[in-house]
Amino acid sequence: MDQALVDQLWQSTNKQEERITDLIEREGYRSLLDFINTNDNATLPRHYYFASDQKQLYLSFHQEMYNPMVHHHDFFEIIYACRGQAIGVINGEEIRLEQGCVCIMNPKAVHYFKEYRTGEDLILNILLTKEMFQKSMYLRLIEDPILNSFFTQYRLENVGQDSFMFFPSLEENIEPIIELLITEFLNEKLYSSVTTESLLTVLLAIVLRNFKKSQRENTTTNSKIVEIYDYLHQNYQTADLMSAVAHFHYHPKYLSSLIHKQTGKTFKQILNEIKLQNAANFLAYSEYSVEQISELIGYQDTSYFYKIFKEAYGQSPTQYRQKYL
């Protein structure tokens, strides 16, 4: 990474640190560590990092003094390892952050650094408000099954969904995109917010493309079920058993048996789960009416949509939307 750009972001990091420290002291704490130690299960609040409602992106380098700070956020975070071999711990799992790797964490990810050496390790923190991560980026990639699950499940209680996605190696070099992102963040030129959102979308798309490619290469015995899931995620609005049979050239009984053997669920159960997963995302991230969403996901009978949504999520679509506004 260009050293002049690194120096500029360090200057910005230190300046922002002074602002955060002043804010914390005015709230009655000696430091950010004091805030963490004083509050059990500490959630770092949004207003520490985003100075106003207009600010939805925050970039900084990690500082060694915050290594032991066990916390989670009221926003999303993307970590990019610029260099070194730092070790992070996320929900009790050790992650080695070697140069070029990426980690995406949702607000439920409890994390800290076990090992970080100033001068040798350099970790870029990209913090995004929920609004920016969801409405600006997510809707552009809404059909991706990995993101779909990641975004839906973090909002639900008592669900064993991972709260982070770790990408240890990427075939494509994303550093030029990272450098452009830092440049736009620091300069705050005209249309910088539009540019940063676009760069973040490109970054996320490349990371996921690499991940899905490696997934396919490593898939063996369950390759058929992966293909079926991909097909259903891409065609859930209109898919049914017979359309899936025609697409894969399977006998209906074989397809149903394969799905049940691999997942313990029926074809209809899986399809309904995917439809409802998309419905939950539309409710949280779009302004479509409940009736429009019901139609979008393939249910012409809105009352039936209400019924199965409440069975799955324990609340009506309207209640779900109000909770996450």
* The pLDDT of residue 160: 46
Question: Angle between the 252-263 and 223-235 helix axes, to the nearest 10 degrees?
Answer: 100
Mean confidence (pLDDT) of the chain = 84
Give the model's pLDDT for residue 231.
85
Kindly state the average pLDDT of the residues 175-197.
89
For 113, list phi and psi in degrees, rounded to 5: -100, 125
Confidence of residue 122 (pLDDT cuts 50, 70, 90): very high
Q: Of all helices (H) and strands (E), which one includes residue 172?
A: none
Domains in the chain and their CATH numbers?
A: 3-217 (2.60.120.280), 220-323 (1.10.10.60)
Determine the pLDDT at residue 159.
42
Q: Name the pTM for this structure.
A: 0.73
Q: Is the pLDDT of residue 158 over 50?
A: no
Query: What values do phi and psi take at 12, rounded to 5?
Result: -65, -40
What backbone torsions phi and psi does residue 121 show, to the nearest 5 degrees? Answer: -100, 145
